[in-house]
Amino acid sequence: MSNIITYSQCPVCRSNHISYILDVEDYTVSHEIFPIWHCYNCSCRFTQQIPDINGIGRYYQSDTYISHSDTKQGLVNRLYHTVRNYTLKAKRRLIEKQSGKKKGILLDVGAGTGAFANEMHEEGWKVIGLEPDKTAKENALKNYSLQLGDMNAIFSFKPETVDVITMWHVLEHVHQLHEYIDAFQQILKKDGTLIIAVPNYTSYDAKKYDIHWAAYDVPRHLYHFSPKALNALVKQHGFTIAGYKPMWFDSFYVSMLSEQYKTGKNNLLSAFWNGLRSNIRTMNNVKRCSSVIYIIKKS
């Protein structure tokens, strides 16, 4: 049995200084409207009236939800696959540089269809991938012969046994927010590295598209982070943000989806221009990027 969650406090910092900020439509599955609220203490935004962990599953049931289906249906998803091979290698190089390791034990939380886990495995890393969605697991097994574990396995790791933990656009989906970050603190080695990538609602493209900004992705995205909010979260669990890295392609991908949501058309030229403008405005401030990669270390 599922329940609806309505927060009376900020889910990140637990402040009572919160209020309604805007309504956003679920353009992917249900077309329901969900309110988003804002915390004036840590600046996190969060989706209200969300299904709990037992009821959220139906909002992921779409053939066009690329993270699970690996679909190439539609122009935007075909472009996504074209870029992905490059971004997978870029992620691997980032991990090697930030961790100082060429091989080690990597935990990929929310592994999706297994593309990143497979990239690291082929480069000699021991990879443990966790994923809640049945369809995504089936695609990982079919495409890469990867057997992905259940998400609750995160609470059964031995202390200080993992070199690197990655969450690529996953943290915003997790109901057990503080429990996960606390688990990371326990299982990560003292010199380990936590990599978290999430959308950034303070970006230019977020402000440009407002309620049509695709990265709000309600109700699947439970939280909407700013750099300030992400820092407030990890600091509570004994972590420090050691660096910020941009995800340059996200501004284009998000802008293409946002154009569809706003106008009902692809409008590739407009999307490309807005994605480019977002990146240009980010050149001197990575914290304004459409999506930000956070390099996190134990304090």
Q: DSSP for 270-285?
A: HHHHHHHHHHHTTTT-
Q: What is the CATH number of the domain that holds 274?
A: 3.40.50.150
Q: Can you give the pTM of this predicted structure?
A: 0.93
| Total count of domains within the chain | 1
Give pLDDT tens digits for 238-279: 999 999 999 999 999 999 999 999 999 988 999 999 999 999
How many residues in total does the chain contain? 299
Give pLDDT tens digits for 144-156: 999 999 999 999 9
Q: Report how far residue 81's alpha carbon sits from residue 4's, in angstroms, rounded to the nearest whole number.
A: 35
* Contact (CB, 8 A) for 192 and 163: yes
Q: Report how far residue 153's alpha carbon sits from residue 126's, in angstroms, rounded to the nearest whole number.
A: 16
Cα separations in angstroms, 290 against 2, 80, 277: 33, 16, 11
Q: Where in the sequence is the domain holding 25, given as residue range(s)? A: 4-298
Q: Is the pLDDT of residue 71 over 90?
A: no
Q: Report how far residue 96's alpha carbon sits from residue 228's, in angstroms, rounded to the nearest whole number.
A: 26
- For 27, other C-beta atoms within 10 Å of its C-beta total 17
* Best CA proximity match to 171, nearest among 147, 199, 133, 152: 199
Task: State percent of the chain over pLDDT 70.
Answer: 94
According to the model, what pLDDT value does residue 67 have?
A: 53
Q: Report how far residue 82's alpha carbon sits from residue 70's, in angstroms, rounded to the nearest whole number.
A: 12
Q: What mean pLDDT comes out for the span 107-117? A: 96
Question: Any idea which residue has 């202390």 for tokens?
Answer: 159
